[in-house]
Structure 1
Amino acid sequence: MAGVSIIISQYFARAAGFTLTDAGVLLDGDEVLLRTKVENGRFPAQSHYDILGLVAEKVPDRAELSIRYARLIDIDKLGTLALACKAAPNVGGALQRMSRYHSLLSDSVRYHLDTQENGVFLRQDVLVGTGPGLVFSPEAGLCAMFQTIRQVAADTITAAAVTFRHSAPRDAPAFEAFFGCAVDFEAGSDGILFSHESLSTRNRLGDQALSEFLTRHLDAELEQVKSEPTLVRSTKEEIARGLSEGVPRMADIARELGLSVRSFHRRLADHGVSFQALAEETRREIAMSMLRDDTCPLSEIAFLAGFSEQSAFNRAFKRWTNQTPANYRRSLGR
């Protein structure tokens, strides 16, 4: 089940004027807005998006909030990942580490580095999450990534271009001032273009031997994060097998796994997940993976993801990613 390091959500809550305790309680003064389960410093990704959704309802200026959030982040609080980025020889190396190991902070999104003629494009893909707070993922996430690079670089860095898939907020000019370049909205992807000159900028620390040592350590941490609990993995596998006949019932999956429904529900809850959330996550993962194959018809993807009608698939995918399956597929080819 996708999770987010609580420190990320705590910075965001603080930027919005709220408090998120280490126990997972979101407070507006003395008022409790949300409670969520925290385990080993992480909590479910959807809880993070629920927090973002509450913030979206109360804070209208999205750009200013995303920038404030990014500037609050103290890179030294990010542990080994922060030191590995500092030790990278240049900005390009720091970007490689941030994109590869970002799931140590949150595996609800993925960052990719797409090489282009005029530089490297840092692209964000949202993997998990629904609700009104979803719009903050690219805005706040890319601001945070850019601010992190600024903290490790020895010289001033500006972006060559920034794009967002969604429409512009009312305070959009604040993004241009922050990134130092034009920012386009309703584009094909969410990301930042770094020029070759910026990529070659030296980092303040820049220690190759230390960088290699820390990278090995991060690889070990990454393997631990990637390893889902056996029950969660088995549940998703059983759900995936039955999706072509519609979303399986919880009772049927429990029986396949040799559990009573009550025991199945309790054991999933112990891992901080629900059957409904795993079913939704499995359908989304299947759909997004299959959309990378241009030869696979949308109707077949809808069927294999458990949708009896294309229109229902379109609505669900729009809820997941804020764009249609067709638009998402086109954005992959850009």
Structure 2
Amino acid sequence: MGYVTSLFARRMVAAAGNSIDGAALLQGVGIDPDAPLDPKVMIPAATYYDMLERLAAQIDVTDLPIRTGASMKLDEYGALGLAFKAATTLGASYARVERYARLWTSVVRYELRADPRGTLFILHRPGERRLGMRLSNEATLASALSIARQVSPVPVKPLEVLVRHPAPKSIIAHEDWFGCPVRFGMDLDAVRFSTTALAQPNILGDVGISRYLVSHLDKELSEIADDAPLVSETKGAIAQALSEGAPKMADIARGLGLSTRSFHRRLSEHGMSFQTLTEETRRELAEGLLRDEGHSLAEIAFLTGFAEQSSFTRAFKRWVGMTPASYRRDRSRS
């Protein structure tokens, strides 16, 4: 399963305003709304899309991705944001995103591709074009321009924006933000820039600082690759422990041969939190057990670590937007 940084979820909820219960939405995807913003804290991409679809059921989200993308700040991206600033040109900044985006997402790959009309900054995200993904893609394209405008000494205006999915009911906000044609129903999700725009020197471009930051990012990237098995091992240990109630981090760490401090640090370096992994494991286990008619709802509640069926029902509805019984009925009809 792929992951995205919790930063995106927080910004989407903030852009939605006070007409929604933002704290409840964030808690529903395993994010503590009162915790400091940390781009290294990840959530499952599918969970993020679910949250966006629940949000869309409450408010008009036509221009929400644009408002979200416009609100993104480079300072919130950690070392990658600093490296984007320190690159000598805008093209070099986007090359940093192409290389290091794995630090904030495992479901998106970026590509800079030259073509006869300039250069395309392409967003590759596989999977079903469900509403949550469509909203996320639009916000990602909008944020790509937002961060460019934060480093350039002159206004940045793309030649055009290409979007794979069909257009929303209005694209006025999209074209106002990008300042160029936005074409939906295309073969790519991409922003096309002129060669001149990408050659523009950045305000804070610095070769020495850039070299240091790239070294730091390379180290972070290698740690993500090295610790990948830890996530699956942790989820397996959590699943085995759930029948005895919600597991404690210290017990899971001990079972994996780690101290609690080391376990927490390694999960954080991988962009994970123990709370997020526990919630994800519970949800995945519950969905799998609900597809098996051999387990009653009370048994599934017990196997996923809940003392009472009512607590399980509330948690499951928070995760997927429907009760366990409704979920089971829907799956039996499909």
Please classify the TM superposition score into its range, dividing by the shorter chain length. 0.5 to 0.7
Q: Normalising by the residue count of structure 1, what TM-score does the alignment of the two structures yield?
A: 0.65
Distance verdict in 2 for CA 1:73–1:29, change over 3 Å: closer
Structure 1 unaligned segments of length 5 or more: list them. 20-26, 236-253, 279-334
Aligned to 2:3: 3
> What secondary structure sits across from 1:171 in the alignment?
coil
Distance in 2 of aligned mates of 1:275 and 1:35: 13
CA RMSD of aligned residues (A): 3.5
User: Residues 29 and 48 of structure 2 are in contact (CA less than 8 Å); yes or no, is this contact kept in structure 1?
Assistant: no
Deviation at 1:58, TM superposition (A): 2.4
User: Residues 164 and 189 of structure 2 are in contact (CA less than 8 Å); yes or no, is this contact kept in structure 1?
Assistant: yes
Deviation at 1:119, TM superposition (A): 1.6
Deviation at 1:227, TM superposition (A): 3.8
Deviation at 1:169, TM superposition (A): 0.9
Which residue type is aligned with residue 58 of structure 1?
Q
Structure possessing the higher radius of gyration over alpha carbons: 2
Aligned to 1:35: 28
Distance in 2 of aligned mates of 1:154 and 1:3: 34
User: Residues 2 and 128 of structure 1 are in contact (CA less than 8 Å); yes or no, is this contact kept in structure 2?
Assistant: no
User: Residues 29 and 51 of structure 2 are in contact (CA less than 8 Å); yes or no, is this contact kept in structure 1?
Assistant: no
Aligned to 1:136: 135
Distance in 2 of aligned mates of 1:146 and 1:199: 12
Which residue type is aligned with residue 51 of structure 1?
M
Distance verdict in 2 for CA 1:55–1:115, change over 3 Å: same
Deviation at 1:226, TM superposition (A): 3.2
Correspondence list, 1:8-23, <5 A = 8-17=8-17
Residues 117-168 of structure 1: CA deviation (Å, up to 9, x unaligned): 2221111122468753111121001101111111111111101111111111
Deviation at 1:232, TM superposition (A): 5.5
Residues 17-60 of structure 1: CA deviation (Å, up to 9, x unaligned): 269xxxxxxx7168668523359622222221122111222232
Aligned to 1:94: 93
Aligned to 2:190: 191
Distance in 2 of aligned mates of 1:31 and 1:77: 22
* Percent identical: 30
> What secondary structure sits across from 2:43 in the alignment?
strand
Residues 93-139 of structure 1: CA deviation (Å, up to 9, x unaligned): 01111222222222222211112122211111224687531111210
Aligned to 1:149: 148
Aligned to 2:74: 75
Aligned to 2:59: 59
Deviation at 1:2, TM superposition (A): 2.5
Which residue type is aligned with residue 50 of structure 1?
D
Distance in 2 of aligned mates of 1:234 and 1:28: 34
Aligned to 1:206: 205
More helix by share: 2
Deviation at 1:3, TM superposition (A): 2.2
